[in-house]
Structure 1
Amino acid sequence: MSKPTFTAFAAFEKQGWSDPEVARSYADGFAQASQMCVAPMVAAVGAGAGSQALDLCCGQGIVAAGLHQAKADVTGLDFSPAMLDLARERVPGVTFVEGDAMQLPFEDGQFDVVTIGFGILHVPDAPQVLAQAHRVLRPGGRLAFSVWHAPTVPTALGYVFAAIGAHGDPAVQLPPGPGLHDYADAAIAYPALERAGFTECAQQVVHSAWTIDQPDAPVTFFAKGAVRGKALLASQPEAALTKIRQSVAETVRAAHGATGPWTVPIPAVITSAQAT
């Protein structure tokens, strides 16, 4: 049986993240939590002075900035021109290129480290991305990627998607694609890494979070700064969206206190490995 190509999902993701408003909203709001994963990712790959570093799916450049601060020589790649514009503003000392993480325009063994900050969940073929990362790494080079933790633990992501499931219009559907949390699961991530040529796989949980003044702010973050969240929320009937917001606000108050500001968890899993 051939594996699914998720062609519609790929087009959906590329179009969504190329929207300058979505890119800016992610950078200004949602990425408050993503930023907390930068230092652990840079440490996981051991980037330092003289390291040739590639930041795949670089988005607005926060991981690239961390690598640059560690004195690495950094190249960032993303498929979104809107995100690349933000990245170039943030880190003018880094080279940013538009490209496809599944077909990298780089030589074999060109890099010492590769990072992927929350990009694995946005590509239609994660094993192909891992294979490409391995190809461009030198033997012994390090890879690290981050994925949001599944809602098996308290997480704002779980709050929002549970509310959509309970109160949203079931007719609003996304194009079929890979699971949002697949590569947070070691049972999926480790075998995929090993097939791509990696060893010494390891995972760590980062207790990233948002600090918010409105208890329904997680809905706003997803509606404005996340492609899947925006697609699910923008098409909801007004009454359903009101119930979704009320549900998330009630969950935040019940779990994190009656009055704000609230620190709402949205933990992440960082997976690292070494190229053979």
Structure 2
Amino acid sequence: MLSQARPVADAYPGCVQLLQGDAMALPLPDASFDAVVIAFGVLHLPKPELALAEAFRVLKPGGKVAFSVWDAPERSEGMRIMQQAIAEHGNPDASLPGADASGTPPLPFFHFASAENTMVALTAVGFSEASCTFERVPVAAALREEEELFGMFLTATARTRALLEQQSPQQLAAIKGQVARELRERFKGTWIDGVCRQTGGSVPGCDAHMKDITTGVGPIVAVDGRRSIIVPMPAVVAAAAKP
């Protein structure tokens, strides 16, 4: 992560400082920041409450914390497809890294996809209840090939990747096949050499690949490339202010 962030820091000399440390014990002084942002990181920590408490500690009065997590499978096609494939063809109960010294397992993956759980966690460490916000944000994965969703989870995620790494080669092959079949059936279209040329989930008239698409809150903007399969994977963004 630091190596990927280095070019950004170098582009803004004196403005961006990179520091490696423990999110649950920040090597930073009290009341020294206006904002703390945690992007898809809280759910991977052994004790998220410690990270939120540390965010509270280093914030100045009136400062804000904001963090994002993935929404639950019942509202996320991408998550549902992967979770269902693991449940049907693998071992969803495989042990995951992240337990603390006492052996206590990490919180459930989608713990913070609940507004109630999020509110409890934020107010428990001192954030103002009146300032807490919880918003579901429409995000999508734009895939060119039917096997890309599996590959994305296997290489570009943390907890799901760790879970997949606990599966046998036979289980992985079955999970991969199920995910590909689900995409083919859910987003029907014309497939040529493993590439979906036209699907109901695609942006009409768009021939864009995921690396050439700008996503955000609002419409997807196509730049260049092949037509994509747009798989909904909404996120949750929570925020709160320090009194």
Shorter-chain TM-score: what band?
A: 0.7 to 0.9
Q: Do the aligned partners of residues 195 and 170 (structure 1) sit closer, same or farther apart at CA in structure 2, a change above 3 Å counting? A: closer
Cα RMSD (Å): 1.8
Partner SS for 1:98 = coil
Which whole-Å CA distance do the structure 2 matches of 1:186 and 1:95 have between them? 33
Alignment of 1:49-198 (within 5 A): 83-92=1-10, 93=12, 94-169=16-91, 172-175=94-97, 176-198=105-127
Higher helix share: 1
Larger Rg: 2
Number of aligned residue pairs: give it.
Answer: 194
Cα deviation digits, residues 105-146 of structure 1 (max 9, x gap): 111110111101011011111111111111111111111100
1:258 equivalenced with 2:189 (yes/no): yes
Aligned residue type for 1:105: P
Retained in 1: the 8 A contact 2:140–2:230? yes
User: By how many angstroms is 1:229 displaced?
Assistant: 2.5
Retained in 1: the 8 A contact 2:143–2:229? yes
User: By how many angstroms is 1:171 displaced?
Assistant: 7.7
Partner SS for 2:73 = coil
Partner SS for 2:54 = helix
Q: Do the aligned partners of residues 235 and 106 (structure 1) sit closer, same or farther apart at CA in structure 2, a change above 3 Å counting? A: closer
Which whole-Å CA distance do the structure 2 matches of 1:118 and 1:102 have between them? 15
Which whole-Å CA distance do the structure 1 matches of 2:235 and 2:48 have between them? 18
TM-score, normalisation: structure 2 = 0.74
% identical equivalent positions: 37
The aligned residue for residue 249 of structure 1 is 180
Retained in 1: the 8 A contact 2:32–2:60? yes
Which whole-Å CA distance do the structure 1 matches of 2:134 and 2:116 have between them? 11
Aligned residue type for 1:165: A
Which whole-Å CA distance do the structure 2 matches of 1:275 and 1:189 have between them? 15
Q: Do the aligned partners of residues 244 and 99 (structure 1) sit closer, same or farther apart at CA in structure 2, a change above 3 Å counting? A: same
Which whole-Å CA distance do the structure 2 matches of 1:253 and 1:150 have between them? 22
The aligned residue for residue 206 of structure 1 is 137
| Structure 2 unpaired stretches of 5+ | 98-104, 191-195, 197-227
